[in-house]
Structure 1
């Protein structure tokens, strides 16, 4: 048998199938990206709604792996809770069955015969692409072309393996997988883990079944293994992420393993005890889609009531402490860029995280000016380095995002976010300056007067409060708190003028040392600029 003429066309067909699936999904994503973002923003604690949402998004992007990677990213960025993530993960397994039904439609809908439909779809898509000028038209052409290529790929794979019907050795491999559930599950898991797509893995199985090579029992075990293999992508994306993100990936793995164990027991009893001959017949593409759908919906129905226990178990298995995490690591996944609307929301969450780190630095600066605690001064410097690293990483990611196909409003939003990012980074710099003033006071053995100390504390309270309100306003897109920032900034401007004037009088009357006086004036400048940058953040929110 000429295996070269079997393997080469099969690999080419698989590549065409995956490419077609991806460009079709990309077109759907571009068309529905903003809607998906809106749905995610509306996501509640209701897990049932999360199941529906996960199924819908996965049906659109044609990959449960991509959906769960997205979920891990959301949990990591704080957009989604573990409770919400559990619902979306369960729904993703249901949504991934759509591709199998598309492929098997050549059996139950004869008018969708690839030989007739695929070339027409590709040609129609190319015509639309060449004649259309609008972005939405280009997206439609991608969907049509991808649909056609998907069918051409599956047809090529099916045709290439047809000669294997006469190969006893190849048929025996699948018979062995059918008799040994463990081997069948492992085979499905390994293939899916390698190509990182359960939809493509199911497509391969369907192309082999079209050639009459796959026994029913082998297909069942392989399908269950495919659901475990699809977890690999999410596990990989959680490496280096926060504890909650890793827990989300473990939840996905546990959900699929538990489902596989339960249905494997049922399948073993069915094929080995109840109907020993039922599993020996060859399975069709439509039957593969049916088994895949029953397995995924059945697993969700069975485990939905105990999903909270799966979350608890995942938390126990993932014991890493978040305190061991590197705060300076940018928690943005480049794979999120495939869905720009959602990637944009991730940037917002990461900037909010950086903003909260600067709040902590501001709290330290407010205390260290008077305590002059060396340990706290070192902490401020460490946090300033963390903020610099985050600022650099987030900026790079946002620039990558802005180079994608976005609308004018999204481009403006990115520009606004970059301005806010810069303002937060500058506030961190000023906090470090304040810690340096404390060191200067220690070195020169200078002290503020009692009146000067009280005035500086009052100024700090106003300016740092303005920044705290700014971060809260940004994180919650709260215009009411943004207005409080404006009020505090105006108060800081007036106070700075009053305190500078009062301090100059003290200096003239020798009521304050020169060294302490210089530091006092420099501190006023820093604090007033902190309130200015806080106002910038608030104005960006009010203009959005």
Structure 2
């Protein structure tokens, strides 16, 4: 009983270690992973290399799979790209088994101590990330030590010995057991660690271990399919189906040759645990190489099985963010930033159309602004804010938390610009209803002020997009210049009113337009200040704010 609990406890520590290692790696390198993903093309070889590198780095194929589902749902990846990534990730998953097969004795205590020191006593955020990685390694090896020690005793029990012998002789039983256990614990890495631990304690034969690993490859698909079934995107379900096809095909190819394969693997190392890890590696590499030339055909087959639905062909409200991305915060933040810029670009267009509405009496431009504000800006901003709020409840680094707050703040400013363009469109409607006309001088002033506003706001959005401090500084200067233009325009308008040049009926729309444009520039200034606040402070001095 005690030894059984020790195996369960060791497996729990192993799982927690993998999770902590994955979290640390994601916080440390998640942004770079997103950059690599952005550079992917439709070439399967690049997608496969990305899948291999990302899985080896973050130590979680499930995390990568869920992230891909989100990107597929947001149309940021093609299905063919994702199939290439899956083939690459099959090789990346072998790193866990190879790491677990190392017998480091009691050296895992060093990793645990190092992790505690970095997490608790180092002031800088980056050291805490290193601490999570070290702690993850320590817990991983501690879990392996507990499992192998307990399994050595359990293997001597008659019932356990009979079961293990049966699995070694009946590979189908081993495959079934591996499938069921992996589906229950929802981690192929945990199953791999458990089988390697059994090898360390000599509690299993190599053929029985390989059968369990083959079953684990199928069991991990059950977890992914379950998640995909709750995803509204059929594209994500296609990806899950493609992964199932890849894994099941690999198992069916190897199963008839399991005994000869085991004899071949036995020559790679005298240590059974290392043999098991090598079998896992050789199997995954071989399957990936065999299936790689058929990426296009796998894609076409899955698309034929799951054709696009009518709902899927409808345009989505959001272009980038998707709830599945929340499993990888760095990806979620990058996509939220893209969604924010998409909203910003639309509001910049609305500023341009509001100029046409007011100065050129363009009724179509007026209607376009009103439709975009109600049908796009408001609902997308709500979705984006909810997305970031959900993300903030995740385990984020300090920098990621700050980034979330910044995106929320920027969203508020950009949404207010949308509201202000709606006001401008309403001023245009009132002006048209009252048949009021701007004087030639007023029109020229408005053209100048609109041009200045568009330049200021456009540069602010570019500064946010590129995180460019120089552009942000220029925006602040332009905003100050607008304040002077605003005061001059007001004074000249009052003079024209007194001289009877401007119609009193048009005065309200003119004055409110000036105030509204001034507020748009204020929000542009806020965007610029947000960019400057992210810049590192110079040594020995204060930051830009």
1:302 to 263, 267, 290: 290
State whether structure 2 residue 418 is matched by structure 1 residue 428.
yes
CA shift in 2, pair 1:288/1:217, >3 Å: closer
Matches of 1:248 and 1:481, distance apart in 2: 39
State whether structure 2 residue 315 is matched by structure 1 residue 355.
no
Matches of 1:78 and 1:477, distance apart in 2: 25
Matches of 2:410 and 2:473, distance apart in 1: 16
- Tell me the equivalent position of 2:327: 335
Deviates more, 1:475-484 or 1:198-207: 475-484
Q: Which runs of 5+ in 2 are unaligned?
A: 536-545
Matches of 1:166 and 1:521, distance apart in 2: 89
- Tell me the equivalent position of 1:447: 436
Question: What's the TM-score once normalised by structure 2's chain length?
Answer: 0.74
Matches of 2:261 and 2:385, distance apart in 1: 63
State whether structure 2 residue 16 is matched by structure 1 residue 19.
yes
Q: Which runs of 5+ in 1 are unaligned?
A: 107-111
**Equivalent residue pairs, number:** 508
Within-5 A mapping of 1:245-394: 247=235, 250-251=238-239, 253-254=241-242, 256-270=243-257, 285-308=273-296, 310=298, 317=306, 319=308, 321=312, 323-327=314-318, 331=322, 333-337=325-329, 344-359=333-348, 361-362=350-351, 365-366=354-355, 369=358, 370=361, 371=363, 377-390=370-383, 392-393=385-386
Verify the 8 A CA contact 1:177 1:184 in the aligned structure 2: no
**SS of residue in 1 equivalent to 2:434:** coil
Q: Deviations over 1:99-138 (max 9, x none)?
A: 22233345xxxxx4xxxx24x5237624773697223574
2:101 to 76, 101, 104: 104
Matches of 2:303 and 2:491, distance apart in 1: 58
- Tell me the equivalent position of 2:121: 133
2:221 to 225, 228, 233: 228
Within-5 A mapping of 1:471-490: 471-477=461-467, 489=479
- Tell me the equivalent position of 2:518: 528
**SS of residue in 2 equivalent to 1:45:** coil
Matches of 1:95 and 1:464, distance apart in 2: 48
- Tell me the equivalent position of 2:541: none
Matches of 1:83 and 1:508, distance apart in 2: 69
Within-5 A mapping of 1:12-161: 12-29=9-26, 33=28, 35-38=29-32, 40-41=34-35, 44-45=39-40, 48=45, 50-73=47-70, 88-106=85-103, 112=104, 117-118=105-106, 120-122=107-109, 125-126=112-113, 129=116, 133-134=121-122, 135=127, 138-139=131-132, 141-155=134-148, 158-159=151-152, 161=154
Query: Could you tell me how far 1:427 is from its partner in structure 2?
Result: 1.2
**SS of residue in 2 equivalent to 1:448:** coil
**SS of residue in 1 equivalent to 2:437:** coil
Query: Could you tell me how far 1:90 is from its partner in structure 2?
Result: 3.4
Query: Could you tell me how far 1:518 is from its partner in structure 2?
Result: 0.6
Question: What's the TM-score once normalised by structure 1's chain length?
Answer: 0.74
CA shift in 2, pair 1:430/1:205, >3 Å: same
